[in-house]
């Protein structure tokens, strides 16, 4: 097995994404041409590095949709771009612009404004483009991005290019109309509802045409796919190859979310979700030479703040109504903050490039130990700094004898939301343990007595020993310790293979 | 001859810009359906389109009805969810 070694990033990566606060391989962006990498580097949705330092927000100005997906219930926001079962506060373009300016003035780290729902932004072109037009004028220091199902995309490319929007996300779940018919029951096309294979064929054609038109104009395109076991899971590798060939810079595979309680077709029909291990395997298979966005959290369409946080409550419509916004002054302050962050990141990159003097184990012949999965509870900043009971998600790493890589987030309901609300702990703990399938060690800054025992019973070693340590050092130390104790002997199959 | 929007409308705005007669508007009064079709302006799209545009794009089964109260998109016709599952879901939803 080959594992990239984070801290041995070759110096040739100058300017690339080598900071690894959340532990992704440093070459995650290295394959991209310079001009694309420069665009992605500070984008909190696309760069693992930037999402710790910059913030993004979405505004919900686009309620209508022109297709139906089987994972969607139209009572709620688009479940591809948001948490299912969530209804965003719908805004007019004027309100959205005001909110964006208010947030950008208060949170100088806010660099990206996205329109992602609750419906399809390009099925509401007037509302979407009115928002973009005003923002390009009033806040030229904010990057704009938009997500779409692609049906109306070819008609919008000209206009998108005019507004100087450089990030477009297309959700592409298939390139085969037969498969598409199992994902999309209908589309609205040329004044009528069209169903079945014909609908899927038109949608796929429009998506592919839109993708080609955008990349031909040098507009960055990310492709999202929803992994639906038994329907498009095998097929997504082909999708990945095709969108890559057409110039998409990222292909992000997300798990289907299908609960009966959401009232979606898949939810009610009992379509199952992929397991974390299945998702990781597909993400690996699709990766190839193209980076995958493993840190995607399927954030809410109207979220405000750094990835994984939501400060929306500070910027409700009545609150922004009364705010005084001097955006010209804010822009000066923002430029200063952006410079500081950029300098800070550059310094970290320089440190990463400096030669390291590490434990000799790393340079010695790789011992014949197998790799293992370690889950980490972290609040951010690249540290083991979250209590087990407060964690909303665990970062999962695969650690091998000579390196490690970040596999993804396993989301969960926190075991304990505080000292009074631990009543549901029992069932929640069961769910957390189920979500940690394949994980053998769990690091947190603190783990309570009860979950400790349950984790051990489930074959997961809990540890609070590495509290406040950098994640990379902690998982390396755990691995080396277990390997030295002979607890990571190669799997029997490997031994047999070597003996043969 | 006019179509009507009933309670189950979720207010997604999809129909509003499509109406050739500008007959559809958002309603801001609690207790009423979120959107309203002006009965004197609605022509059921006759002369403009083969099919009534609002009912063609509406994603919500049962939200748009004709003058006899018959839904243009009956239950199950848009999502493909079998009726017995839809019924079960409605019961659980009401309890929430
Ligand atoms: S049927 Fe046609 S005219 Fe009547 S409200 Fe719907 S879109 Fe407008
Ligand atoms: S399309 Fe249907 S659900 Fe949407 S606003 Fe119109 S009537 Fe309501």
pLDDT at position A408 over 60 = yes
Q: What is the value of ipTM here, to two decimals? A: 0.93
Note the maximum CA span of chain B.
45
Decide if A263 and B10 are in contact by the 8 Å CB cutoff: no
**Closest ligand 2 atom to the C-alpha of B5?**
7
CA-wise closest residue to A377 among A26, A22, A6: A22
Structural domain that includes position B36: 1-96
Residue A448 lies in a domain: yes
CB of A135 within 8 Å of a chain B CB? The answer is: no
Which of A276, A286, A230 is CA-nearest to residue A255?
A276
Output the CA B22–ligand 1 centroid distance in Å: 8
> Which residues have CB under 8 Å from A337's CB, separation 6+?
A108, A109
Total structural domains in chain A? 2
Q: Please list, in sequence order, all residues whose beta carbon lies within 8 angstroms of the beta carbon of residue A47, skipping any fewer than 6 positions away.
A: A17, A29, A40, A41
In chain B, the number of structural domains is 1
Centre of ligand 1 from the C-alpha of residue A491, in Å: 67
- CB-CB neighbors (< 8 A) of B81 in chain A: 265, 268-269
Residue B88 sits in a domain whose CATH number is 3.30.70.20
**Radius of gyration in angstroms for the set of CA atoms belonging to chain A, rounded to a whole number:** 23
Q: Which of A51-55, A114-118, A429-433, B36-40 is predicted least confidently?
A: A51-55
A148 found inside a domain: yes
Q: Which residues pair with A441 in a beta bridge?
A: A374, A461
- pLDDT tens, residue by residue, A322-359: 888 888 888 888 888 888 888 887 777 777 666 545 44
Choose among A70, A186, A191: nearest Cβ to B53: A191
- Residue range A130-136: mean pLDDT, rounded: 93
Tell me which of B36, B37, B64, B73 to substitute to probe ligand 1's pocket, judged by most ligand atoms within 8 Å of the beta carbon. Answer: B37
pLDDT band for A123, please (50, 70, 90 cuts): very high
Say whether residue A269 is in contact with chain B using an 8 A CB cutoff.
yes
What pLDDT score was predicted for residue A74?
Answer: 78
Instruction: Give the gap in angstroms from C-alpha A71 to the nearest C-alpha of chain B.
Output: 10
pLDDT less than 50: residues of chain B: 96
Residue bearing the CA closest to ligand 2, atom 1? B58
Q: Choose which residue among B13, B19, B72 to substitute to test ligand 1 binding: the one with the highest number of ligand atoms within 8 A of its C-beta.
A: B19
- Domain co-membership, A294 together with A409: no
Among A259, A290, A320, give the residue marking a domain's end: A320
Same domain? For A309 and A383 the reply is no
**CATH code (residue A190):** 3.20.20.70
* pLDDT band (50, 70, 90) for residue A165: confident
| Pair A382, A252 in one domain | no
pLDDT value for A478: 92
Residue A218's region, left for phi above 0, alpha for psi from -120 to 50, else beta, is left
Specify the pLDDT at position A292: 46
User: What are the phi and psi torsion angles at A252 (to 5°)?
Assistant: -115, 110
For residue A428, the domain's CATH number is: 3.30.420.130
Measured CA to CA, the distance from residue A43 to residue A41 in angstroms comes to 6
pLDDT of residue B55: 97
Q: Is residue A361 part of a domain?
A: no
pLDDT value at position A121? 93
A310 and A450 assigned to the same domain:
no
Nearest to A296 by CA among A252, A261, A334: A252
Q: Which domain holds residue A488?
A: 370-499
Give the C-alpha separation, A375 to B40, whole Å: 63
> What pTM was estimated for this model as a whole?
0.77
Q: Residues 6 or more apart from A417 whose CB is under 8 A from it? A: A390
> Could you tell me if residue A355 is inside a domain?
no
Model confidence at A479: pLDDT above 60: yes
Contact A311, A303 (CB under 8 A): no
Q: Which of B56, B86, B89 sits opposite A188 (nearest CB)?
A: B56
Please tell me the distance from the alpha carbon of residue A146 to that of residue A60, in angstroms, as a whole number. Answer: 11
Q: Are residues A175 and A315 in the same domain?
A: yes
Q: What is the mean pLDDT of residues A461-490?
A: 89
Question: Long-range contact list for A160-164, CB < 8 A, 24+ apart?
Answer: A160/A214, A160/A219, A161/A217, A161/A219, A163/A129, A163/A132, A163/A133, A163/A136, A164/A136
Q: What is the rounded average pLDDT of the residues A271-275?
A: 93
A18-47: pLDDT as tens digits: 233 333 334 455 556 676 666 666 665 566
Mean per-residue pLDDT for A290-295? 48
Highest mean pLDDT among A186-190, A379-383, A454-458: A186-190
**Residues A72 and A181 reside in one and the same domain:** yes
Please give the distance, rounded to the nearest whole angstrom, from the Cα atom of residue B55 to the centre of ligand 1: 8
- Confidence band, pLDDT 50/70/90 cuts, at residue A280: confident
Per-residue pLDDT at A9: 33
Residues A200, A293 share a domain: yes
Percentage of chain A surpassing pLDDT 70? 74
Q: Whose CA is nearest to atom 8 of ligand 2?
A: B9
Residue A353 lies in a domain: no
Is it the case that residue A382 has pLDDT exceeding 60? yes
Which range is most confident: A48-52, A145-149, A345-349?
A145-149
**Residues near ligand 2 (Cβ within 6 A):** B 5, 9-15, 35, 54, 57-58, 60, 63-64
Question: Which phi-psi region, left, alpha or beta, contains residue A191 (left: φ > 0; alpha: ψ -120 to 50)?
Answer: left
Residue A473 has pLDDT above 60, yes or no: yes
How much is the pLDDT for B6?
Answer: 95
Task: Round to whole Å and give the CA distance between A436 and A62.
Answer: 36
Question: Which B residues 24-53 touch A at CB under 8 Å?
Answer: 49-51, 53
The answer to whether A119 contacts B85, with C-beta atoms less than 8 Å apart, is no
User: Given this model, what pLDDT does residue A49 score?
Assistant: 62
Most confident of A47-61, A391-405, A406-420: A391-405
- Do A179 and A256 belong to one domain? yes
Neighbour order of strands in the sheet with A250-255: A250-255, A220-227, A167-171, A143-148, A110-115, A55-59, A304-305
In the Cβ-directed half-sphere of B27, how many Cα atoms lie within 13 Å?
17
């Amino acid at each position: 097995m080959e594992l990239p070694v984070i801290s041995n990033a070759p110096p040739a990566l100058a300017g690339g994404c080598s900071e690894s606060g959340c532990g992704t391989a440093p070459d995650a962006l290295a394959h991209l041409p310079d001009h694309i990498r420069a665009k992605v580097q500070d984008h909190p949705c696309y760069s693992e590095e930037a999402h710790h330092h910059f913030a993004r927000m979405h505004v919900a100005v686009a309620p209508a949709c022109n297709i139906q997906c089987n994972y969607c219930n139209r009572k709620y926001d688009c479940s591809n771009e948001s948490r299912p079962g969530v209804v965003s506060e719908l805004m007019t373009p004027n309100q959205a612009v005001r909110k964006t300016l208010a947030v950008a003035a208060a949170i100088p780290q806010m660099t990206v404004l996205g329109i992602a729902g609750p419906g399809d932004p390009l099925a509401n072109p007037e509302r979407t483009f009115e928002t973009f037009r005003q923002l390009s004028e009033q806040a030229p220091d904010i990057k704009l991005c938009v997500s779409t199902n692609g049906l109306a995309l070819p008609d919008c490319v000209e206009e998108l290019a005019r507004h100087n929007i450089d990030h477009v996300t297309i959700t592409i779940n298939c390139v085969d109309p037969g498969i598409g018919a199992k994902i999309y029951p209908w589309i609205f096309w040329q004044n009528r509802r069209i169903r079945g294979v014909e609908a899927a064929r038109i949608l796929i054609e429009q998506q592919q045409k839109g993708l080609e038109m955008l990349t031909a104009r040098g507009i960055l395109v990310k492709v999202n796919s929803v992994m639906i076991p038994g329907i498009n899971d095998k097929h997504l590798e082909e999708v990945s190859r095709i969108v890559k060939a057409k110039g998409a810079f990222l292909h992000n595979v997300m798990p289907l979310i299908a609960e009966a309680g959401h009232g979606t077709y898949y939810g009610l029909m009992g379509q199952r979700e992929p397991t974390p291990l299945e998702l990781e395997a597909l993400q690996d298979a699709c990766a190839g030479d193209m980076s995958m966005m493993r840190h995607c959290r399927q954030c809410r369409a109207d979220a405000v703040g750094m990835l994984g946080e939501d400060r929306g409550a500070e910027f409700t419509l009545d609150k922004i109504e009364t705010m005084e916004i001097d955006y010209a002054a804010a822009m000066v302050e923002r430029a200063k903050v952006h410079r500081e962050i950029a300098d800070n990141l550059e310094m970290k990159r320089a440190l990463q490039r400096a030669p390291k003097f590490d434990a000799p184990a790393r340079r010695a012949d790789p011992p014949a130990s197998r790799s293992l999965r370690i889950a980490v509870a972290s609040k951010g900043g690249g540290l083991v700094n979250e209590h087990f009971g407060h964690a909303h998600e665990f970062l999962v790493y695969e650690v091998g004898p000579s390196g490690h890589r970040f596999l993804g987030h396993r989301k969960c309901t926190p075991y304990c939301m505080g000292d009074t609300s631990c009543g549901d702990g029992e069932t929640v703990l069961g769910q957390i343990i189920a979500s940690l399938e394949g994980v053998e060690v769990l690091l947190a800054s603190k783990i309570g007595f009860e979950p400790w025992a349950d984790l051990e019973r489930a074959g997961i070693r809990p540890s609070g020993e590495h509290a406040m340590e950098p994640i990379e050092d902690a998982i390396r130390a755990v691995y080396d310790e277990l390997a030295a104790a002979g607890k990571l002997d190669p799997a029997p199959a490997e031994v047999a293979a070597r003996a043969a | 001859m006019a179509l009507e929007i009933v309670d189950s409308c979720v207010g997604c705005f999809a129909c509003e810009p499509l109406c050739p007669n500008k007959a559809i508007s958002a309603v801001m009064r609690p207790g009423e359906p979120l959107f309203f079709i002006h009965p004197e302006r609605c022509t059921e799209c006759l002369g403009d389109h083969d099919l009534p545009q609002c009912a063609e794009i509406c994603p919500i089964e049962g939200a748009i009805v004709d003058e006899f109260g018959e839904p243009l998109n009956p239950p199950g016709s848009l999502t493909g969810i079998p009726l017995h599952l839809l019924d079960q879901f409605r019961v659980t939803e009401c309890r929430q």
